[in-house]
Amino acid sequence: MVMEKTDTLVIGAGQAGIALSEHLSKLDVPHLVLERQRIAERWRSERWDSLVCNGPAWHDRFPGLDFDDVAPDAFAGKERVADYLEAYARKFHAPIRTGVEVLKVVRNDGRPGFTVTTSAGVFEANRVVAATGPFQQPLIPQLIPADSPVTQMHSAAYRNPQQLPPGAVLVVGSGSSGVQIADELQRAGRQVYLSVGPHDRPPRRYRERDFCWWLGVLGEWDAQKVKPGREHVTIAVSGARGGHTVDFRRLAEQGITLLGMTRSCENGVMQFQPDLAENIARGDENYLGLLDAADAYIAQNGLELPPEPQARQLPPDPACVRQPILSLDLAASGVSTVIWATGFAVDYCWLQVNAFDEKGKPSHQRGISSEPGVYFLGLPWLSRRGSSFIWGVWHDAKFIADHIATQRKYQAYHASTPATAAPVRETVCQAAD
Ligand SMILES: Cc1cc2nc3c(=O)[nH]c(=O)nc-3n(C[C@H](O)[C@H](O)[C@H](O)COP(=O)(O)OP(=O)(O)OC[C@H]3O[C@@H](n4cnc5c(N)ncnc54)[C@H](O)[C@@H]3O)c2cc1C
């Protein structure tokens, strides 16, 4: 039994679903947003307590609303981001239904549109947009057996240092989550080991401008493709404690033991790749490369921004980089917890349509999928590097809303222009004898 019909059903009310709803509303496209929990749920319950935005408040927001109580160069806390997104949705009366989980989407047979089974009944829609997030399923490499005495958790489950059992902590992953969690734990008095992989580490600020500004003016947020060989390179930045440049040597100076990439675990002994110095050096290259590009931009445009030669002075390599530890006996080192800051996967098992490639990845061009009427929004690199971030998804949402409005025009034309009558077939009637 079909309960409700709408033109476009948007699944997920995070920043992506809200941005799309705004654009669809402006274009008068009838739509509904279904959210299984609360608006901006991930910012509320899937991030650690002290998390603040990685970008400053003037940057990490939608174009139509400021953070009125956060200074432009400060970093909004995670609850504040969730409140902001809620307020934004209220501003244009976004038609969001919370507490409704989408369980199955299938294409209708012999008629247009999709049937959408949810926890609150069945919907029908001409189009569906999957806005269920870039980071859906925490990924934990299966290296340490589940029955090991060590506590294992993903960064999405980490909340604060008090939550962990006493003892040292191994944090695996050197993107923004891994470095921020390792730093917080070390400052809380824990002994911390940090497994460092390939990473970019832009300066927080250089010559009085935040790295978000530099990546913007240098066109980096608009890059359309990951550079070859850089597919698994994370970005290590932090807005914590007012914002600072992530520098692994300084983390080591502070007391964190750096390790190379995590390779395996056998009988409670972790093995690491001998790549720590190389990963740190590549991170430095990225850091210095951005300083060079910024200097060139300043010179070319004649900007008056004060020189900052001290930004090029890097501290010497600490002992843990010079003589890297290649194996660590977890019990003997007192490690009671391993935190995997190793990223996320997506799960579209509910979307049972022809919109995926042979590897099960969404098959799309700028979010328009290979199944007509199905769209993806919010995925990393959907159209550019900025696509999964707050400011970037807004522009992708505009593009998808425009595409939907155009498709509606084709349908309106079809509905208003009946096909000419079928040609009359000549029938020779035989006279009955
Ligand atoms: C630790 C961390 C820090 C980040 N910091 C920043 C930052 O500082 N600045 C920035 O710009 N970006 C940041 N990001 C990236 C990005 O902004 C967030 O991941 C953001 O949550 C993505 O928004 P979204 O709307 O695309 O997806 P999500 O926020 O994941 O929203 C998807 C929604 O869909 C719902 N949903 C899922 N499945 C279903 C279903 N079947 N039925 C109904 N509803 C469903 C979920 O409950 C969720 O509310 C960060 C990401 C992480 C992990």
User: Which DSSP string corresponds to 201-237?
Assistant: ---SEETTEEHHHHHHHTT-TT--SPPTT-TT-EE--
Using the atom order of ligand 1, give the atom closest to the CA of residue 350: 41
Q: Which of 71, 78, 73, 72 is nearest to 52 (CA)?
A: 78
> How far away, in angstroms, is 389 Cα from ligand 1 center?
9
Contact 217, 223 (CB under 8 A): no
Q: Provide the residue ranges of all domains of the chain, joining segments of one domain with +.
A: 3-136+346-415, 138-340
Report d(CA 12, CA 35) in Å as an integer: 5
> How far away, in angstroms, is 196 Cα from ligand 1 center?
25
CB-neighbour burial class of residue 217 (10 A; exposed 0-12, middle 13-18, buried 19+): middle
Predicted local confidence at residue 164, as pLDDT: 98
Domains 3-136+346-415 and 138-340 share a fold: yes
Ligand 1 contact via 350 beta carbon (within 6 Å) = yes
Predicted local confidence at residue 232, as pLDDT: 85
Residue with tokens 């200074």: 71
> How far away, in angstroms, is 390 Cα from ligand 1 center?
9
Predicted local confidence at residue 412, as pLDDT: 95
Ligand 1 contact via 118 beta carbon (within 6 Å) = no
Indicate the CATH number of 138-340 among 3.50.50.60, 2.40.50.140, 3.40.50.720, 3.30.2130.10.
3.50.50.60
The alpha carbon dihedral of 112, 117, 120, 122 has a sign of positive
The CATH code of the domain at 3-136+346-415 is: 3.50.50.60
Ligand 1 contact via 101 beta carbon (within 6 Å) = yes
Predicted local confidence at residue 428, as pLDDT: 56
Ligand 1 contact via 161 beta carbon (within 6 Å) = no
Q: Which two tokens stand for residue 339?
A: 């935190």
Phi and psi at residue 347, to the nearest 5°? -135, 110
pTM listed for this prediction:
0.95
Predicted local confidence at residue 41, as pLDDT: 98
Using the atom order of ligand 1, give the atom closest to the CA of residue 16: 25
Per-residue pLDDT in tens (0 to 9) along the chain, 433 residues: 668 999 999 999 999 999 999 999 999 999 999 999 999 999 999 999 999 999 999 999 999 999 999 999 999 999 999 999 999 999 999 999 999 999 999 999 999 999 999 999 999 999 999 999 999 999 999 999 999 999 999 999 999 999 999 999 999 999 999 999 999 999 999 999 999 999 999 999 999 999 999 999 999 999 999 988 888 899 999 999 999 999 999 999 999 999 999 999 999 999 999 999 999 999 999 999 999 999 999 999 999 999 999 999 999 999 999 999 999 999 999 999 999 999 999 999 999 999 999 999 999 999 999 999 999 999 999 999 999 999 999 999 999 999 999 999 999 999 999 887 666 565 555 554 4
Contact 74, 57 (CB under 8 A): yes
